[in-house]
Amino acid sequence: MQIQYAERIRTLPPYLFAAIDQMKREALSKGADLIDLSIGDPDIPTPKHIVDAMKKAVENPEHHRYPSYEGMLSYRQAVARWYKRRFNVELDPEKEILSLIGSKEGIGHIPLAFIDPDDIVLVPSPGYPVYPVGTKFAGGISYFMPLKEGNDFLPDLNAIPEDVRKKAKLMFINYPNNPTSAVATSDFYREVIAFAKKYNIIVCHDAAYSEVYYEERPLSFMEIEGAKDVGIEFHSLSKTYNMTGWRIGYAVGNREILAGLGKVKTNLDSGVFQAIQEASIVALDTDDSILKEIRDIYKQRRDILYEGLRAKGFEVKKPFATFYLWVKVPRGTSSIDFVAKLLKETEILCTPGVGFGEYGEGYIRFALTQSKERIKEAVDRIGRLSL
């Protein structure tokens, strides 16, 4: 029997983090003392009280049956409480909140609800690879919006050609931004809302990193007047509460857009295990002091790596949010070649910027997902790197 993949699979580029995993395996097989700063998977454990809540919930046989597709009402009510407390945004738990199996799942599925073949989706570059992949799976065409340092890594909406604007059906934005660590202003969000209203474009804001910040709290897109008219916001418990493996998130905002995403989900998945939802209610009701402790750990790591990179002569801006550093590679070197050089000479693994899209070339991304001691060791090794 001859097996042939569908065209949508055959033409996919290698998934960035799968390629990184292969580099990691090869280095470890050779006995490397690898310091892995490549993938944004928190090394800090999930807070104990959340784990304890999960243990208790697992023992409840009511949770062993199929969950509801849209999520337990009590979970959605907890999300509404969190949004009110954090952003002063009012949400209807029944119509304006939808549970997700992690925000990645919702981001990947949203184009299936609204994109027909050859429709255009506005996608940031560099950006999370799932934005263009989800677009491709729906038969859509990605129009890449460059995120450039000169524009504070915000897309220049005025640079989008008029014919593209008229054909675009959906736009992805992401702040605090992965991979650049940029944050967005209220003025930018207002510009996006006006743009979306004028051209009838659905806005999908990925806010997975809103709680990983340092000097100033980032805004929610939903805080801005008119945001609910044009879009939704994706959120995740993964980065906020160190729950990446738990696979739970949610989308909030425009009820018609959420209903469309919900129709896709009812046909493709069966919802989130209710025990995880019960534990997530406890997480969402957690006092902010625990999150501050987590942020303080990342801030210490950020400062160590930032100062070390600057001392070595790298061009890097201090990030005010996320746990990433977006670093320029030496002139004349590709991001992939420099990642390979760094791995070979220092046994440090990071991520090539080009893996996030064409406009990520010239940069590498470091993730602050190792202990302070290991990051200090990484700085020492980088100090000995030949440039």
**Domain limits, the chain:** 7-45+289-383, 49-284
pTM of the model: 0.96
Judged against a pLDDT cut of 80, whether residue 66 lies above it is answered with yes
Q: How far apart are CA 219 and CA 54, in angstroms?
A: 30
- pLDDT score for 23: 80
Question: What fold does the segment set 7-45+289-383 form as a domain?
Answer: Aspartate Aminotransferase, domain 1 (3.90.1150)
Burial label for 325, CB within 10 Å (0-12, 13-18, 19+), is: buried
Judged against a pLDDT cut of 90, whether residue 300 lies above it is answered with yes
C-beta separation of 76 from 281 below 8 A: no
- CB under 8 Å to 254, separation ≥6 — which residues? 96, 202, 228, 229, 230, 231, 232
**28-46 pLDDT per residue, tens:** 898 889 999 998 999 999 9
**154-177 pLDDT per residue, tens:** 999 999 999 999 999 999 999 999
Q: How far apart are CA 349 and CA 32, in angstroms?
A: 11
Q: How far apart are CA 215 and CA 348, in angstroms?
A: 28
**How remote is the C-alpha of 366 from its chain's centroid?**
15
**228-263 pLDDT per residue, tens:** 999 999 999 999 999 999 999 999 999 999 999 999
Domains 7-45+289-383 and 49-284 share a fold: no
Q: Which amino acid is at 273?
A: F
* Strands, E assignment, 117-217: 120-125, 141-146, 168-174, 202-206
Query: Does an H or E element contain 361, and which?
Result: none
Q: How many CB atoms lie within 10 A of CB 263?
A: 14
Q: Which amino acid is at 349?
A: L
Q: How far apart are CA 178 and CA 347, in angstroms?
A: 24
Helices and strands, number each (H, E), in the chain:
14, 12
**4-22 pLDDT per residue, tens:** 999 888 888 776 677 777 8
pLDDT-based confidence at 387, cuts 50/70/90? confident
Q: Which amino acid is at 185?
A: T
**185-196 pLDDT per residue, tens:** 999 999 999 999
DSSP 190-233: HHHHHHHHHHT-EEEEE-TTTT-BSSSPPPPGGGSTTHHHHEEE
- pLDDT score for 71: 96
Class of domain 49-284: alpha beta
**103-160 pLDDT per residue, tens:** 999 999 999 999 999 999 999 999 999 999 999 999 999 999 999 999 999 999 999 9
- pLDDT score for 34: 94
Counted residue by residue, the chain has a size of 387
In the predicted model, what is the mean pLDDT of the chain?
96
- CB under 8 Å to 4, separation ≥6 — which residues? none
**312-361 pLDDT per residue, tens:** 999 999 999 999 999 999 999 999 999 999 999 999 999 999 999 999 99
The string over 287-307, giving b where at least 16 C-beta atoms fall within 10 Å of a residue's C-beta and e elsewhere, is eeeebeebbebbbebbebbbe
- pLDDT score for 119: 97
- pLDDT score for 19: 74
